Amino acid sequence: MRIVQGWKGLADADRGASVALGNFDGVHRGHQQVIALAARAAGELRAPLGVISFEPHPRRIFQPDAPPFRLMTTDQQVRALAGLGVDIFYILPFDAELEHLTDRQFAEQVLHEGLGIRHVSVGFDISFGHGRTGSPLTMSQYGQERGFGVSVAQAVGDGDAKYSSTGVREALRDGHPEAAAAILGRPFALEGMVEHGRQLGRTLGYPTANVALADYVMPRFGVYATRTRLPDGREIAGVANIGVNPTIDGEIAPRLEVWLFDFDEDIYDQVIETDLIAFLRDEAKFADLASMVAQIDTDAAQARALLLPQL
């Protein structure tokens, strides 16, 4: 998969795709329906399959004071899209110029002239252009005028609840990673570089890999059963705390601290990805370290039972 930054002055090989348009934060099952429509058109047109997204996320521009909300890093997004057979990932800079294009200007200048698209698929609830005046209906009109096809993905979901990034965020904030996974089609995963911590876990016999949460949505503080992928592809079961570890003195930013079962290797400064499989309990402040260690033993046993039932 090729990653194309921007929409101006592109090579011919990077133009003429059938594209899916959206933010695609999470690449959840609703997003996958939009991409599937673009893929179908790509096959009929014998065109590359493309996905268009924006960086920074427009929400960061329009709601600069909003708490972190991202569901994946760009690297995670790239891997998810590649797994769906996407040929070109267009990352458009959401700058002042793009922000102030009307919906018609966006369709004409960016999609038609810049990317030379042959088809675009959008979600049923998409809005685009300055003031978010664009809609599936106006996109269809612009497609007829400029000669590119348009398809609209309808809402998909369980019952009356449609799959959405908002639904994933709500599930994570409520401590329901399994509900988030049902929308995503895979477990929600936190990815980041392993940082040096206070070494307390190693002292107590529970060495943890510490990862900053960065711009991720904040899951419910607490303890989770997890699976972690290492850079070499190994996947290791574990138990993790997300939060600030209030038992230990000293303020720290919220982070992931994951104890990988039956593992004792130096992975500092390596990037790992940790799936949240099940929420076990809320984060707690213990009276002393002995009480905390006893609870960690209980948490680990519960996580092992969930993740390694044969043991």
Predicted confidence band at 194 (pLDDT cuts at 50, 70, 90)?
very high
Domain ranges for the chain:
2-158, 181-307
How many residues are given for the chain? 311
Residues 135, 127 contacting (CB under 8 angstroms): yes
- For residue 54, pLDDT over 90 is answered with yes
Written out in words, the top-level CATH class of the domain with range 2-158 is alpha beta
Instruction: Judge whether 2-158 and 181-307 match in fold.
Output: no
How many CB atoms lie under 10 A from the CB of residue 198? 14
Query: Inter-axis angle of helices 177-184 and 165-173, to 10 degrees?
Result: 160
* 50-54, 195-199, 286-290 — most confident range: 50-54
pLDDT tens for residues 293-310? 899 999 999 999 999 875
pLDDT tens for residues 268-281? 999 999 999 999 99
Predicted confidence band at 95 (pLDDT cuts at 50, 70, 90)?
very high
pLDDT of residue 181: 98
Structure tokens, 60: 């960061």
For residue 281, what are the β-bridge partners?
A: 223
Instruction: Quote the CA–CA distance of 226 and 299 in Å, as a whole number.
Output: 11
pLDDT tens for residues 223-232? 999 999 999 9
Instruction: Quote the CA–CA distance of 22 and 90 in Å, as a whole number.
Output: 11
| 181-307: CATH architecture | Beta Barrel (2.40)
- For residue 64, pLDDT over 90 is answered with no
How many CB atoms lie under 10 A from the CB of residue 95? 13
Instruction: List all residues 6 or more positions away from 59 whose beta carbon is below 8 Å from its beta carbon.
Output: 23, 66, 69
pLDDT tens for residues 229-246? 999 999 999 999 999 887
Instruction: Quote the CA–CA distance of 169 and 263 in Å, as a whole number.
Output: 31
Secondary structure class of 307 (helix, strand, coil): helix
